């Protein structure tokens, strides 16, 4: 990708980076720019990771550009990982499809992330810093901030959110000779969204905070983009305030995504259906789970909740599940699930980490419980259906949370129809792939 012709916004952070990336890209698209968006992980289809003007890369585009990437890896004997191949695929597609602006989300950390080959971003954004991937990034927020701060570049501006160790990042920006470090209040004034819970407890609305970061970033970007277009003798495109306000309303799927699901509650000969409010949220670490629970208390203060949860193996399983147990009070209100993914926490590991979960609902996946696509059907699908019926019977809401790896199965079980990867891609995502040339197509096409 020739960076001389493309402006790049590089985004890192423990939480919120995907939302800020989507909000920023959506606003730029409304302003008339040709926009490439690279985010991870995906929910159901690999192609969600690479979007142009709000549309996922087509299968034909993936087939065309992926072959080029594989050829380079084979000729150079490059032991590329899944994420590295995907990053290269995104760069190639953006370069060939004529995008003007790329919004680029880091995968993990920042300093050593595959996306950090970018030398001169128009803007670096660090949304938040929390304890995550501590074995890789460090065991304090300051150490993690330094890893995220690896995307800061000499001569380039950086914007940081409120939930960061600002002094650490300020020093990092100074050492890297960034042109300037900004906070949201520098561009938008004092503000932020706080919500009262039963008149006494407050918490910051993360979606409002992500929108605020996006707005501040877009203000910084409009000057850069105007200069770039003037240099190229192109007609200027202006990011108007109304475009920003509209653009940042968008939210990624499975980020406090609310829906009503009809559940059959037939009793004997009487056929009935009942709506169950379902919330999908990829809260996967203590900071995100704490926010999810606070948001539930604020939005549904009188509701009783039932929770389906599956985690990644590298998370603090005991701490996270204790937070959920304290929220629902009764272990039988929790349903434990295990995603069919190499990085998923097993049911047995969750039970070992927190013996209190022994009274929760769960089923240990068996090898003979795979469907025709090679997916496990005994864990996520079975527990979502069981939880739906119990929630309908007991007038509860259903919250499905935790790892992104459980969401595709959960959404399918809820009746949501959308493109889905083949089982092969679900298994290699996040794993090393030196010479694997798997079929990056949806399930129906893979079977054909």
Tens-digit pLDDT profile for the chain (448 aa)? 555 679 999 999 988 999 999 999 999 999 999 999 999 988 889 999 999 999 999 999 999 999 999 999 999 999 999 899 999 999 999 999 999 999 999 998 889 999 999 999 999 999 999 877 767 787 798 999 999 999 999 999 999 998 899 999 999 999 999 999 999 999 999 876 665 555 555 667 888 999 999 999 999 999 888 888 888 888 888 999 999 999 999 999 999 999 999 998 876 666 788 999 999 999 888 888 998 999 999 899 999 999 999 998 888 899 999 999 999 999 999 999 998 777 889 999 999 999 999 999 998 766 555 545 444 555 899 999 999 999 999 999 999 999 988 999 999 999 998 888 766 666 655 443 333 333 444 444 433 3
What is the structure's pLDDT at 13?
94
CA 188 to chain centre: 26
Q: Which residues contact 259 (CB under 8 A, 6 or more apart)?
A: 277, 278, 279, 280, 414
Q: How many C-beta atoms surround the C-beta of residue 167 within 10 A?
A: 10
Measured distance between the N- and C-terminal CA atoms of the chain, rounded to whole angstroms: 34
- Residue 429, classed as helix, strand or coil, is coil
What is the structure's pLDDT at 444?
45
For the chain, what is the total number of helices (H) and then of strands (E)?
16, 15
Domains and their CATH numbers in the chain: 7-33+100-247 (3.40.1190.10), 257-417 (3.90.190.20)
Residue 126: enclosing H or E segment and its boundaries?
Answer: strand 123-126
What is the structure's pLDDT at 265?
83
Q: Which residues contact 175 (CB under 8 A, 6 or more apart)?
A: none
Sign of CA dihedral 246, 251, 253, 258: negative
- As given in the structure block, the two tokens for residue 296 are 């539930």
Sign of CA dihedral 194, 196, 202, 205: negative
Residue 305: enclosing H or E segment and its boundaries?
Answer: strand 305-310
What is the structure's pLDDT at 424?
60
Distance, CA of 94 to CA of 57 (rounded, Å): 10
- Residue 352, classed as helix, strand or coil, is helix
What's the CA dihedral at 294, 297, 298, 301 to 10 degrees?
-170
Bridge partners of 421, per DSSP, are 442
What is the structure's pLDDT at 75?
94
**Residue 41, preceding peptide bond in cis (omega within 30° of 0):** yes
């Amino acid at each position: 990708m020739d960076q001389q012709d493309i402006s790049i916004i590089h985004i890192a952070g423990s939480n919120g980076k995907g939302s800020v990336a989507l909000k920023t890209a959506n606003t730029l698209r409304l302003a008339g720019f040709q926009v490439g968006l690279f985010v991870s992980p995906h929910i159901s289809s690999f192609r969600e990771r690479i979007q142009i003007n709000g549309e996922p890369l087509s299968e034909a585009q993936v087939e065309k550009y992926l072959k080029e990437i594989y050829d380079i890896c084979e000729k150079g004997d490059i032991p590329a990982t899944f994420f590295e191949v995907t990053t290269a695929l995104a760069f190639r597609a953006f370069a060939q499809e004529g995008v003007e602006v790329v919004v680029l989300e880091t995968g993990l950390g920042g300093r050593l992330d595959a996306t950090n080959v970018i030398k001169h971003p128009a803007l670096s954004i660090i949304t938040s810093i929390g304890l995550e991937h501590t074995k890789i990034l460090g065991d304090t927020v300051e150490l993690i901030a330094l890893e995220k701060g690896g995307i800061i570049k000499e001569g380039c501006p950086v914007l940081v959110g409120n939930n960061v160790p600002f002094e650490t990042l300020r020093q990092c920006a100074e050492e890297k000779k960034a042109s300037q470090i900004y906070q949201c209040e520098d561009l938008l004034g004092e503000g932020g969204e706080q919500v009262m819970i039963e008149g006494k407890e407050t918490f910051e609305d993360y979606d409002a905070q992500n929108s605020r970061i996006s707005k501040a970033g877009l203000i910084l970007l409009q000057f850069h983009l105007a200069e770039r277009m003037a240099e190229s003798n192109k007609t200027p495109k202006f990011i108007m305030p109304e475009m920003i306000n509209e653009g940042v309303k968008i939210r990624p799927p499975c980020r406090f995504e609310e829906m009503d699901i009809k559940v059959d509650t037939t009793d004997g000969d009487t056929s009935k259906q009942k709506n169950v409010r379902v919330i999908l949220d990829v809260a996967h670490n203590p900071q995100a789970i704490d926010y999810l629970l606070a948001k539930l208390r604020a939005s549904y203060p009188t509701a009783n909740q039932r929770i389906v949860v599956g985690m990644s193996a590298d998370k603090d399983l005991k701490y996270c599940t204790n937070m959920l147990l304290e929220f629902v009070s009764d272990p039988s209100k929790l349903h434990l699930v295990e995603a069919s993914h190499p990085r998923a926490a097993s049911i047995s590991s969750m039970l070992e980490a927190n013996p209190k979960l022994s009274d929760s609902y769960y089923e240990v996946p068996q090898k003979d419980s795979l469907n025709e696509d090679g997916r496990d059907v005994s864990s996520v699908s079975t527990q979502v259906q069981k939880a739906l019926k119990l929630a309908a019977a007991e007038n509860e809401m259903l919250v499905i949370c935790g790892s992104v790896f459980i969401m595709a199965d959960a959404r399918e079980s809820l009746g949501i129809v959308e493109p889905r990867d083949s089982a092969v891609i679900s298994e290699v995502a996040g794993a090393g792939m030196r010479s694997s040339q798997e079929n990056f197509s949806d399930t129906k096409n893979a079977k054909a």
